Amino acid sequence: MDWVNPLVHEGDVTLEHRLPGNISISAAYVFSRALHLPVFIDANLGETTNTKTYTYPNGTTFTVPFYTSANRLNATGRF
């Protein structure tokens, strides 16, 4: 696998307008985009039957595996 350096583009735009009566109004937009971020895989995790379910405010739910220290293949973390 060839290593590619991570790349992040970030920026912001702010608009401000002065209104009568010594009042101002402003709007801002901040953005970022990342490419080629590294992915690390923990090779010391065993299988798990535990899960954790999250609920969005709109009622949609999603479930992900939940790992504890009991799921470690090697408790010391060393191979």
The string of DSSP letters for the chain reads ------EEEEEEEEEEEEETTTEEEEEEEEEEEEES------TTB-----EEEEE-TTS-EEEEE---GGGBSSTTS--
Name the pTM for this structure.
0.42
- Asked if residue 79 has pLDDT above 80, the reply is no
Residue ranges covered by each domain of the chain:
7-71
pLDDT reported for residue 38: 87
Instruction: Encode pLDDT of 21-78 as tens digits.
Output: 989 999 999 999 999 988 888 888 888 889 999 999 999 999 999 988 888 888 775 6
Model pLDDT, residue 15 = 97
